[in-house]
Structure 1
């Protein structure tokens, strides 16, 4: 069977497309507004291209810092680098984006687009985003990005589409946005099924509840699997992601380091540890002395009492926040004796208080690589900054916003069978 072709909209760092690539789909174009995320997409496209051409040694040379990013990209055909489209999807930009996608389709002699995937930025629909917004996100233009998504369905007429977003979409605008989506997608010729899923059920070591909207052309009726009741046979405890990584102190770590233990069953089955003998981006952020004292209290409380730290229980000298009624769990341990962690979100780019490492001796928040593993990214997935120098903040933001590739692959495998 020839590969099925897809377009990735609002691509982010490529977690959703990574799952579809692993399932054997062929990316025609990725559209993403964030510059750093586009660099990440290009680097990952280099990985897949070089792997197909039996040249992974070149990619590994880049990861190990033997060659520069510019040298890595020099091995790629120009059409591949141009398939990463660094533009925001909007009325102003759509014609230019269409031209770039059409160039890819014509240049590669693609007969049809089988699938469109992606989900618009979710802050406008998220419950937390609405709680923190003065107007409950009612004036946020991101509320209507689904209209742009529908425009791409109309132009490229894929057999199916996969639209990912937050659970809050169900209640946003008292359900108005979701109802309008249904009507608009129907007008464009697509029926939909809405699935509430938890990444934990797909083998991801994280409680991450999301909406997956599966759409299909009205001219055929697929037998959509019940993703809400899916249960993977890949499961473990969160400690599986920590056992083979070097111990770090706050503010330490290397962009290239070596594993300290062999792989384990979970890392192998989930395709996280992929056979290389070195690890990248195992870097921890620095912390103040006060934060480290709070971390010690939080870890000790969990490890010895299985209790979460409430901010109000801290000694007065460690309390600096005036808000004592909401977000009282702002300091939280990634408990390695559970089967899933708390949800990794983009706020991890600002501080690591909600993601404290469970080892009290390390006394830090989790590293970039540990966050990526919780999200089920392969260890050879490299998160770029705009510049080639290490950009921990950009990496954390991309990881927090991503769809877990392990969940995406399982969905992709099912979609492949339907098409």
Structure 2
């Protein structure tokens, strides 16, 4: 089979597309991203850079200038010699908003001129999920004027559906949050509506034999097709738990695999493989300290402050009858005092990724520049949060669980000045990503603060960097995220884990090979 075109819409920074583009079969890379579309300018910039890097690799060009750009040594990612390739990458990665008049017009113009829909091709993407998410719906309930059926975000999947109806891909992959399964519009589950619409390719009235789609689960035998009673479908069977498929985080998402009815092949399923632990995917990265957000950043001041906080907490723990915790707090106080950590680093420590990782994941994460380290700079934290972070990380190592709620944060100076702190609603406000476990879900909330993403090493006393979050999301180390750091965090949190997407790509490839 010749190269299979991929159209990636609502692409974000490209996690789903990276999995397909990076999947390697016995005869090379079978998938090629023909077009990707994203509305956010920073995420689009990330997409464009990745498209450029792939094109340079394919053409056999030297990538040293691009590496220098990633490291901040050049103003532009291209040279005069590679500017043409950059312009081609700009045609692949489009910055447009699906659902807008101008965005739709541009996308369909590009599809008409560049996509040969008579040959096998694949549509991928995840329509924005804010309206479906549990957190988003809670926020909407607080708005007395909010009417779900008037929220256009609920129906962005119809833009995805329109492409299916117009160009009839051989296969499509659609991803969304688990909250979609319980979301209702006018009393009807939106998940049932989506299944019915996708199965009929958007037009039940004119549906003829062979025209619709069968919608498969990637983890069970469940599927849906036109004519079945959608109310009998257990939509939870479409939920993929990433940690069960080699991804080091508990990320649960709805993933629908649509296969055109004239393709008489049933797709395979994801093969279970336990996700590695947090420390196995981030411990080789350079040790970094955080910074002060108000006191003025200074290396010596930071080390002195954190060590003093740990020793003070040790004294408080002894008085509270917690000798084991007190001993560990003391020990890490001396460790922080003796270390001399920077706030950013361009070089990795020797040794590379953990040898305990599966070889395929190790190779996937390493990237083409094993010596380089991008997007690995720390946030600044308030002095009070440094006390909490240091305490929480030591507590997790001492007791094998992260501290939770009022009782665990009872030592002086730990309870935050939050009016609802004692109600228990914010018991998880400070959460350590624990060693010996997979990480909790990396979400876009990581862009707001790092309280839920505290580094497991107490001596670093900080939240995760963008690179560490990207590692947990299984982005390769040579994947560069554009824009301000807050935007980089958001991009990572919104993405599909590329290593999971790579496994989906393998299923799609095998299906198309069999159908061919």
TM-score by length of 2: 0.74
- Where 1:213 maps in the other structure, the secondary structure is strand
Where does residue 361 of structure 1 map in the other structure?
Answer: 459
Where does residue 384 of structure 1 map in the other structure?
Answer: 482
Q: How many residues align?
A: 407
Structure 2 runs not aligned, ≥5 long: 24-28, 202-211, 218-237, 292-341
* 1:130 to partner: Cα distance: 1.5
Q: Which moved more, 1:253-262 or 1:120-129?
A: 253-262
Contact 1:246 1:260 (8 Å CA) reproduced: no
CA distance in 2, matches of 1:216, 1:69: 41
1:245-260 matches, within 5 Å, as 245-251=285-291, 253-254=343-344, 256-260=346-350
CA distance in 2, matches of 1:167, 1:373: 22
Cα distance change of structure 1 residues 223 and 78 upon mapping to structure 2, 3 Å threshold: same
Which protein shows a greater Rg? 2
Contact 1:83 1:104 (8 Å CA) reproduced: no
1:16-415 matches, within 5 Å, as 16-23=16-23, 24=29, 25-55=31-61, 56-71=63-78, 74-76=83-85, 78-92=87-101, 93-105=103-115, 112=119, 114-133=121-140, 134=142, 138=148, 139-173=150-184, 176-188=189-201, 189-194=212-217, 195-227=238-270, 230-232=271-273, 235-251=275-291, 253-254=343-344, 256-265=346-355, 266=357, 269-270=360-361, 271-276=364-369, 277-313=371-407, 314-315=409-410, 317=413, 318-324=415-421, 325-338=424-437, 340-385=438-483, 391-415=484-508
TM-score by length of 1: 0.91
CA distance in 2, matches of 1:300, 1:175: 48
CA distance in 1, matches of 2:481, 2:475: 10
Q: Deviations over 1:53-73 (max 9, x none)?
A: 122334333333443335367
Cα distance change of structure 1 residues 275 and 10 upon mapping to structure 2, 3 Å threshold: closer
Q: Deviations over 1:344-399 (max 9, x none)?
A: 000101110000001111100011110100000000000001xxxxx211110000
* Higher relative contact order (Cα pairs below 8 Å, separated by 6+ residues): 1
- Where 1:319 maps in the other structure, the secondary structure is coil
Contact 1:164 1:211 (8 Å CA) reproduced: yes
Contact 1:31 1:84 (8 Å CA) reproduced: yes
CA distance in 2, matches of 1:151, 1:294: 50
Contact 1:256 1:281 (8 Å CA) reproduced: no
CA distance in 2, matches of 1:125, 1:397: 18
